[in-house]
Structure 1
Amino acid sequence: MTRLVWFRNDLRCADNPALWHACSQPSEPVIAVVYDCPQQWQKHGLGPRRIAFMRNAMLALQQELQALNIPLLIIPAGTFAGSLNSLQRLIVQLDIRSVSFNIEYEVNERHRDIEFSRWCRRQQVEVHKFHDQCVIPPGEVLTQQGQPFKVFTPFKRAWFNRSEAFYQAPLPRPQARSPQPELQQLAAALVQPAPLTAEPDPLWPADEEHAHQCLQNFAAEQMSRYQTQRDFPALDATSRLSPYLAIGLLSPRQCLHTALLLNDGLQTGGKPGIDSWINELVWREFYRHLLVAFPDLCKHKAFRPETEAVPWREHAEDFAAWCEGRTGYPIIDAAQRQLREQGWMHNRLRMISAMFLTKHLLIDWRKGEAFFNYWLMDADLASNNGGWQWSASTGADGAPYFRIFNPTSQSQKFDPQGEFIGRYVPELLPITAKNRHEPDSFQRRQCHYPPVIVEHKFARQRALNAFKNSLNLSPVMADSGESSNE
């Protein structure tokens, strides 16, 4: 019986449950397939650099599997519908009797997989599905009433309580199989391989070995200091593993396992830096569990329906200034320029920048979410949506509407020497580090740097009024947190 592995956002050989299961019978031939769906990815808002990253990873995976004597067919399909039609034809033509894949949680992907599984049942083809994007599968961490959690802290406590029942050490890479040239020749004759060529990205090598090395380097050099240094963007203190998690060059289980080895097996109550990083892994799980429990999150809907009444501004010029890093707030402009240059943004800056767009400029969080999704190498619906709705005060366990970061205060606190600003807003290098956070009008003219797009005090009050009026808050509720001005 020929077994088929369908790769998607799990482009690795180690700790891949679908691949491991397909290889569990040494005598049975295995073939793998992955689909190149550029039109679908563009429809989902991914940018060309992110698409090239996935394609590079596909080509690297093809080489990895070739060493295991497992042919990987990279097939052009355009869209998910095209990939489904192609896969069904391939299964019939190769007389496949077993298909394995790892589950994706987004609505379109889930509908695709449901349709495919029904077709397989009619064809008497076995389907084996596995969870690999979460340590604990969505739906397995619930309140005492059997409902999904909407607040992170109780979710985390329940996740820790449940994790022992689900956690296991990562699966190794399967053993190399006997060569199967006949199968490879037959498959190649049936499909037209995608004419992909590698587009190396010096900042983001897209292969499994590099991803593992990044994880090991972070564990050895920075994880223990993560809690104290993680908020300072000028430091190389975060893991930068999110792009590799986003396309499955790493699994969350591999990340957790590495952390536990350094934390005496403890998920919490161990070394503060490692505890803090594990906490971020649980945040990632929280957003994925929400995506499954509340599928409207995949449909550009606010988690809190009442916030759909917030009167977001339509202002193309302000939005363009934010996108291009010319708001006149140095920390915001540095963050936006880092995103466009590196395809990545420091997590603290993501919060500051997102809150600036939604609270200072009062522009719909969905526009910012789409912009990040286009530019980020770690573009991922669950985490990106969760972060944006948190900042906009529209999401599950989001920041209170009256929490409005002061960009200048944030800059002074987390980039005290103006080092990060100087790196990405080099026109401000001629002035002192202290003045880079808030240049005066003379310094702005001297450095050819624009005035602020909106005054903080005015913007803050405008946002408070907009949220109060749209949410119909009582005077007591409306006034309870107005002192918050970080």
Structure 2
Amino acid sequence: MAAVVWFRSDLRTVDNPALDAACLNHKHVYALFLVPQRTWQAHDWAPIKVDLWWRHLAEFKQELADKGIGFSIFTIDRFSQSGATIADFCEKHKVNTVYANREYPLDEIERDKQARACFEQRDIEFQLFDGNLLVPPEAVETKQGGYYKVFTPFNRAWRTEVAKISDWTPESWRVENTVASSTELPQCPLERKNSQTYPVGRQAIMGKLGQFIEHQVDEYKARRDEPSVDGTSMMSAYFEMGAIAPKTVARALSSLSPEFPYGLEPGADTWLTEVAWREFYQHLMFHEPRLSRGENYQTETQGLPWRDAEEDFQAWCDGRTGFPIVDAGMRQLNETGWMHNRLRMIVANFLVKDLLIDWRKGEQYFMRNLVDGSFPANNGGWQWSASVGTDAVPYFRVFNPVRQSEKFDPDGIYIRTWIKELADVPSKHIHWPHSYLKQHKTGYVSPIVDHSEARERFLSTFKQVKNG
């Protein structure tokens, strides 16, 4: 009998255990991908993210065809229609087993439960794997049998599990041709925004990874917080759509140390820690379904009285707050669909703590604009910045945006790149240009808030809620 591989956020042929199992156990393998347009809209998929996935799907279709696998893409309304759509395909093509890799937020888990029930009614087996993580959520437990709520001990336990992986060799297989694969994709049902700056297809993505490992990872720890330099891997969008597996990344890093995951130089070790952060947030989503419902992880902070300040929120969205480093970050996001990670922390902290605006509004704005929008990572990062999440930055730590700017963009290169009104402002004024601008008007906006007063407002508000 034939098999179906149900692709989701795992659009790759290497280090994909669901695909490997199907191809090793069946002569005929079909590949399916579903586009649940209303669910994607409800999940705030950014048009630039849709475009990147669609471009990669075209390359991926050819990659599968080269392996002898036909690829079918179906547009459906919602997640809830997944099971019936795939079961109908299975009956038509005499398929008795569906293979897929697990996803961990609540809606995805519910989708798979519904699909399994539908498959069981039609005598179709459903096998799930953990190809999107190095370590599945059930494998990392505290001594008490629960999950880790703080990252540092999680990272230690996670690395212990990674060290148990003895074979980093990818599977090799080819199946008999199943169906002719047309080169045309169906019409994309959702809005798209140009993502051409991101190459797609396995060869280009692996080239990007190789370039980073060979030429940049050594400097990663030292340079990753400088937004004006090319100091990060820029692999996050590929992680999100599963065009590259965490196992592929781990294999590349393992070549740098015989004691892997230990013994790495500081740059590579720090990058592996970022992979661990990604998995930490995925595990949290799995263990705490309420995070998928927009709840604060720290339940005692659920009643925070956020400001209803639409004008301030819009100014933040548009990069018109009068705080140059904040505005530069938001303009980079709006123009490119990506923002440097240090800036993500700065602008999130500003929205929540300077403007006292609900972190969920910022979380949604990010998802609607980020090419690499990952629900678990985005949710975790925003809750961290808002001091309401697990392992949260203490609530009394409020970033001073001017100090952050001076520390991480000392010469103002990043600010000038994104705020054209400040292009000619001297470096000594660039982080807080407002006195200088009284004599040299450029059209740059005045600050919408006094940071010192805003900080006190946030601290007193948070303290009241905490002390309840």
TM-score (norm. length: structure 1): 0.92
* 1:213 to 2:186 alignment: no
**Letter of the 2:187 counterpart:** P
Distance 1:126 1:184, change over 3 A: farther
Match of 1:22 in 2: 22
Describe how 1:146-295 pairs up with structure 2 within 5 A: 146-166=145-165, 168-169=167-168, 171-172=170-171, 174-180=172-178, 183-184=179-180, 194-196=186-188, 201-295=195-289
Match of 2:369 in 1: 375
For the Cα contact (< 8 Å) 1:135–1:167, is it kept in 2?
Answer: no
Answer with 310-319 or 54-63: which moved more.
54-63
Note the alpha carbon deviations across 1:88-122, whole angstroms, 9 max, x for none: 21111212111111111111111111122233233
Match of 1:483 in 2: none
**Letter of the 1:45 counterpart:** D
2:430 to 405, 416, 436: 436
Could you tell me how far 1:262 is from its partner in structure 2? 1.8
Structure 2 CA distance for aligned equivalents of residues 345 and 352 of structure 1 = 11
Could you tell me how far 1:209 is from its partner in structure 2? 2.1
Structure 2 CA distance for aligned equivalents of residues 263 and 319 of structure 1 = 47
- Runs of 5+ consecutive residues of structure 2 not aligned to the other structure: none
**Letter of the 1:50 counterpart:** K
SS in structure 2 of the partner of residue 437 of structure 1:
coil
Structure 2 CA distance for aligned equivalents of residues 150 and 330 of structure 1 = 35
**Letter of the 2:403 counterpart:** S
Distance 1:340 1:167, change over 3 A: farther
Runs of 4+ in 1 over 4 A off after TM superposition: 196-200
Match of 1:108 in 2: 107
* 1:455 to 2:450 alignment: yes
Structure 1 CA distance for aligned equivalents of residues 187 and 35 of structure 2 = 10
Note the alpha carbon deviations across 1:398-452, whole angstroms, 9 max, x for none: 0000000000000000001100000001210111122110003341661211111
Could you tell me how far 1:184 is from its partner in structure 2? 4.3
Structure 1 CA distance for aligned equivalents of residues 175 and 149 of structure 2 = 46
SS in structure 2 of the partner of residue 467 of structure 1:
helix
Distance 1:87 1:410, change over 3 A: same
Structure 2 CA distance for aligned equivalents of residues 141 and 254 of structure 1 = 21
SS in structure 2 of the partner of residue 296 of structure 1:
helix
2:419 to 422, 425, 428: 425
Structure 2 CA distance for aligned equivalents of residues 364 and 281 of structure 1 = 28
Could you tell me how far 1:167 is from its partner in structure 2? 5.9
Note the alpha carbon deviations across 1:213-253, whole angstroms, 9 max, x for none: 11111111110011111110001000010000000001111
Structure 1 CA distance for aligned equivalents of residues 262 and 94 of structure 2 = 49
**Letter of the 1:80 counterpart:** F
For the Cα contact (< 8 Å) 2:28–2:177, is it kept in 1?
Answer: no
**Letter of the 2:131 counterpart:** D
Could you tell me how far 1:201 is from its partner in structure 2? 2.5
Structure 1 CA distance for aligned equivalents of residues 110 and 227 of structure 2 = 39
Match of 2:75 in 1: 76
SS in structure 2 of the partner of residue 253 of structure 1:
helix
2:358 to 364, 373, 376: 364
Identity of aligned residues (%): 38
* 1:346 to 2:340 alignment: yes
SS in structure 2 of the partner of residue 435 of structure 1:
coil
Structure 1 CA distance for aligned equivalents of residues 194 and 361 of structure 2 = 29
Answer with 30-39 or 295-304: which moved more.
30-39
Structure 1 CA distance for aligned equivalents of residues 310 and 108 of structure 2 = 32
Structure 1 CA distance for aligned equivalents of residues 98 and 449 of structure 2 = 56
Structure 2 CA distance for aligned equivalents of residues 76 and 244 of structure 1 = 22
* 1:98 to 2:97 alignment: yes
For the Cα contact (< 8 Å) 1:4–1:99, is it kept in 2?
Answer: yes
Note the alpha carbon deviations across 1:245-274, whole angstroms, 9 max, x for none: 000001111112211212344323431111
Could you tell me how far 1:143 is from its partner in structure 2? 0.8
Structure 1 CA distance for aligned equivalents of residues 239 and 168 of structure 2 = 17
For the Cα contact (< 8 Å) 1:16–1:132, is it kept in 2?
Answer: yes
Structure 1 CA distance for aligned equivalents of residues 185 and 231 of structure 2 = 41
Structure 1 CA distance for aligned equivalents of residues 90 and 260 of structure 2 = 45
Distance 1:450 1:167, change over 3 A: farther
Note the alpha carbon deviations across 1:322-368, whole angstroms, 9 max, x for none: 00000000000000011111111111111111000000000000000
Structure 2 CA distance for aligned equivalents of residues 277 and 10 of structure 1 = 21
SS in structure 2 of the partner of residue 23 of structure 1:
helix
Match of 1:9 in 2: 9
For the Cα contact (< 8 Å) 1:138–1:292, is it kept in 2?
Answer: yes
Q: How many residues align?
A: 464
Answer with 401-410 or 112-121: which moved more.
112-121
For the Cα contact (< 8 Å) 1:10–1:102, is it kept in 2?
Answer: yes
For the Cα contact (< 8 Å) 1:75–1:193, is it kept in 2?
Answer: no
1:397 to 374, 379, 391: 391
Could you tell me how far 1:37 is from its partner in structure 2? 2.0
- Runs of 5+ consecutive residues of structure 1 not aligned to the other structure: 474-486
TM-score (norm. length: structure 2): 0.95
For the Cα contact (< 8 Å) 1:412–1:437, is it kept in 2?
Answer: yes
Structure 2 CA distance for aligned equivalents of residues 423 and 326 of structure 1 = 15
* 1:327 to 2:360 alignment: no
